[in-house]
Amino acid sequence: MKKLVAELIAKELTDLTVEDIEKSIENPPKPELGDFAFPCFRLAKVMHKAPNLIAAELAEKISDDSIEKIDVQGAYLNFFMKKDSFLKTMIEKIAAEDFGSSDEGKGKTICIDYSSPNVAKNFHVGHLRTTFIGNSLYKIFDKLGYKVERINHLGDWGTQFGKLIVAYKRWGSEEAVKEKGIEELMRIYVLFHEEADKDPALEDEARLWFSKMEKGDEEALKVWRWFLDISLEEFKRIYKLLGMEFDHYTGESFYIDKADAVVEDLEKAGLLTESEGAKIVDLSEYDMAPCLILKNDGSTIYATRDLAAIKYRKETFDFFKCLYVTGQEQKLHFKQVFKVVELLGYEWAKDSLVHIPYGLVSLGGAKLSTRGGNVIYAEDILKEAISKIRTTIDEKNPDLKDKDEVSRVVGVGAVIFNDLYNQRIKDVSFNWEHILNPEGETGPYVQYTYARCSSILRNASDYSFSSDIDFSLLSDQASVDLIKQLYRFPAVVKSASETYEPHIVARFAIAVAQAFNKFYHDNKVLVNDAALKNARLSLVYLTRKVIRDSMELLGIGCVEEM
């Protein structure tokens, strides 16, 4: 319909293409201002007339059977479409199985590097943001037809493992690690630092053990692999709770034997220079600190391994884009690494390598379960959310079926939605009263709206969706507003992909839920009039469909009853 309006305007304006006009057409902020609005400000210079006069002249010239009327509001042409044809077009699109999908990514691969916790350390609250954002971006790009490689770049290499080995040999035991897992590894790791403050020689011992790892010492590698296996088991349990999976668990250690090729490439390109015994790439020309490639003992660091990872991923997946979802504190690191790739002669680095930063997690004064210190573990937050939802269910709907599963889906979904509802660069605050509020702009509110739709459809047991609807029965404002909201879904998915912002989808889900609840408040659905009942049930069905699809893009499930 927007394109039709653009075509009608273009017939009267030879200086603008249909595409240019369509981009300028807006959705009015209020329903009473029409379905589409075209601003005439930009035409003033070309036509040498005041914008309001241009709008008035165009209104006189444009007519079509699909247009009910055209109003002039200052410099704006406001189009009111004939409701029947307008609603029919939108509902038929919304009802399509692939509504919101596209094939724009056909034949293109996107690698997303996210989550990436440190081995031998518990999965803490800080890892939830990268995990939620990365998982949502995977689903968004998958919806648009891209092949997405989900990569978990584990922090599984470095001098901290030398420290862990020393700590294990001095204060740990096989029995304790087997019994307590990561909790024991963290205990001895903290103990190492406490003791190293008193005895600095422990740091030298740790460096020695890590050097053994790098040289392939079997004893050192055996202990390291054991710690890695314990950690992966822990991480996968958290991912299962979240309902998430990865295609690759290729951490830093995976790229150790690939780092030499990167150093060789940099040498050949004449980019490496020596600085105090270390090898660097000088980036002062680009107002950046140097990118350290090799330490003075010849060992690699994060940047070297990230360069090796980019080289490997490009050769293996031939990615269209490679996205890195990490905290904003790593902004300079990735800026340096991406610039080095570009200096190696790879022009694709400018557009294909993207750092997607996010803000911090604040506890907002909430009383959260911890296991010591100021570390808040992800599993504690998720389990507390599930527990709180279960308590609410027991109080308000004790006969609900599958209470454990409903509690998991709603509890976990509430935490995810709270994270993704705001722009990712903003800090996230945990406040249980807000997060779990079924009447606020929250995950439970959207899920409750979905469950309400499901309940209505169950009560209309003889109903099955058909687009054979009397559209004139849906001309009330609440129905039209709901249909317009639903119809935005493809544009929302596209916008979220272009900006790497899942919050656009989250806010859309809230807008749909609010529009539906207004529709449901204004219109009784299960009425005696068969045609009216069918028309209104169609909106219930389509709302349920779009809510499910939008929540799926956030990595959140929906439940049939709450």
- For residues 210 and 161, give the distance between their C-alpha atoms in angstroms, rounded to a whole number: 6
Biggest CA pair distance of the chain: 89
Tokens 């390109």 correspond to: 269
Beta bridge partners of 325: 356
- For residues 462 and 229, give the distance between their C-alpha atoms in angstroms, rounded to a whole number: 53
The answer to whether residue 124 is catalytic is yes
Of 124, 163, 314, 321, which one is the catalytic site residue? Answer: 124
- For residues 172 and 166, give the distance between their C-alpha atoms in angstroms, rounded to a whole number: 9
Please tell me what DSSP assigns to residue 81.
E
Please report, for residues 268, 292, 307, 372, 526, the alpha-carbon distance to residue 273 in angstroms, rounded to integers and kept in the order given.
12, 10, 17, 45, 76
The answer to whether 494 touches 553, Cβ cutoff 8 Å, is no
Which of helix, strand or coil describes residue 123? Answer: coil
Which of helix, strand or coil describes residue 294? Answer: strand
The answer to whether residue 193 is catalytic is no
Tokens 């001309």 correspond to: 475
DSSP annotation string for 429-476: E--HHHHT-TTSSSHHHHHHHHHHHHHHHHHSTT----S---GGGG-S
Of 11, 48, 121, 258, which one is the catalytic site residue? Answer: 121
The answer to whether residue 48 is catalytic is no
Please report, for residues 38, 430, 508, the alpha-carbon distance to residue 488 in angstroms, rounded to integers and kept in the order given.
18, 30, 8
Of 2, 3, 127, 240, which one is the catalytic site residue? Answer: 127
Active site residues: 121, 124, 127
